Amino acid sequence: MRARSTLITGGAGFIGTNMAARQLDAGGRVTILDDLSRAGTEHNLQWLVQTYGDGVRVACGDVRDRALVRQSLRGVDQVFHFAAQVAVTTSLTDPVGDFRTNAEGTLVLLEELRAVADPPPLLFTSTNKVYGHLTDVGLVQVDGRHVPQDPALRERGIGESRSISFCSPYGCSKGAADQYVLDYAASYGLPTVVFRMSCIYGPHQWGNEDQGWLAHFLLQAMRGEPITIFGDGRQVRDALFVDDLLDAMQLAVDGAERLRGSAFNIGGGPSNVISLLDLVELITELEGVRPRVRHDAWRVADQRWYVSDVGAFTAATGWRPRVDAADGVARLHRWLRDARSAVAEAV
């Protein structure tokens, strides 16, 4: 990888920390713009600064701060926009705050990017929630999982041709940002690309009950605390290990002139599906003891099945996920085990 100067909004978060480390390992410089509002980000930032020293520039603040964003964009070769309010549950209790962070924050960044003489490429992380509840997808149970009745849909997953149908305030705010990022490519020629992401997991993920469920389940089991499953546990996601995601993101940014204005569904795809109950079984193998599980009612806007059709991005770039779900969960488990002291402080 060529050494370059990178701006990562939300750079102390889970994905941001991994992206920052990859850029710094390649000899690049990284500016992290983060307000450190999410639990665990302070530990991620401390690790980055201690590990990489002067290669890390920290801009502590809000992505809606135009002056801070403008300063952070100076001399930047590429932008990864991860800063967000990330939980559906939080959006339901504070929809205004959710909108301001996700939609307004993205628009501020786009406007400042538009003011740059030679705008660098931007990769924005959207969400599969832009496709709504998927209530029109008929489901059956196969091998203890909810899966589509339609064999073709079961085999390939949800593609970009599906109509967007925002659900929950979170889906609306991220969906609005998604559309602004695409439109700024069409209206102003900015080299922007959108990833509509499924379940991402890996090291530096301090998951909680609202977001980052794979890491959260592992953390609960490691602490000997019960895991709460909302619904029947048969809901399915396609899990993508963070290293595979970083590969895809760099390909998207490197090809942004060609891919500008494109939205891609990104996840583990049909070969990496996992249900909540599947994860409990994996944890039992890894921990040597079955975690305690309790059930609660379904949550608002929880899709019972979502799997990404990653074929469009594969066709455009040749990218494919390489880390299967069982191996990836084992890697995350090892990282959390080795970071046990940090886990105790961060959660």
Q: Which residues are catalytic?
A: 170
Which residues touch 252 (CB under 8 Å, ≥6 apart)? Answer: 123, 193, 195, 259, 264, 313, 317
d(CA 20, CA 237): 26
Number of Cβ atoms within 10 Å of the Cβ of 100: 16
> Burial, 327: exposed, middle or buried (Cβ in 10 Å; 0-12, 13-18, 19+)?
exposed
d(CA 167, CA 175): 9
The three-state secondary structure class of 56 is: strand
Buried/exposed code over 136-145 (b: 16+ C-beta within 10 A; e: otherwise): ebebeeeeeb
Instruction: Please give the single-letter amino acid code of residue 265.
Output: N
d(CA 335, CA 342): 11
- Is the separation of the CB atoms in 244 and 308 below 8 Å? no
